[in-house]
Amino acid sequence: MTIKNILVPVDGSEGSDRAVTQAIALAEACEAKLNFLYVANINQLAINACLSDAILDAVTKAGNVILDRAMEMVPSGIEKEAFSETGSPAVVILDFATDKDMDMIVMGSRGLGVVKGVLLGSVSQYIVEQSKCPVLVVK
């Protein structure tokens, strides 16, 4: 086993920024590629049914800003790519990791979730439990 592809789900939260920093150090050490993934938390049904183009545009833009910021943090010489998806974050992240053969997922312990008291956010929790590849949780 080698670590050649690192998946970094980003949501613009403080925790995800720390994960990006950690992932960069890891990618540098392992000479791995960084794959940033932003998941807009909306389901396809809602998109087809009632979301206007204006709303979709706004969501896409918000995601692009977060992805651009992550991409800009990466020093030159490290391979990187940004991906944007819609759906339920935990599920989309796991599917992405499997489909694209990721060797490790690097993520924050808590994202933008509303429950402040929990030590591990629901998305991180689900991914640590279900992921087939190693998951690095940044505190």
Partner 1 sequence: MEEFSRILVPVDGSDASLKALDTAVLLARASGAVLDILTVAYFASETDTEHLVSWLPESVTRPIGPVVHEALSHAEAHVRGVVPYELHERTGTPAEEILRFAEEHGREPIVIGGRGLGRVEGLLFGSVSQEVTEQAKGTVIVVK
Which residues contribute to the site for partner 1 (CB under 8 A)?
1-3, 21-22, 24-26, 29-30, 104, 119-120, 125, 128-129, 131-132, 134-139
Closest CA to 22 of 91, 132, 109, 113: 109
Looking at beta carbons only, is 31 or 57 nearer to partner 1?
A: 31
The helix (run of H) or strand (run of E) holding residue 40 is strand 33-40
**Minimum distance from residue 117 beta carbon to partner 1 (Å):** 12
- Nearer to partner 1 by Cβ, of 59 and 90: the residue is 90
Nearer to partner 1, 20 or 82 (CB): 20
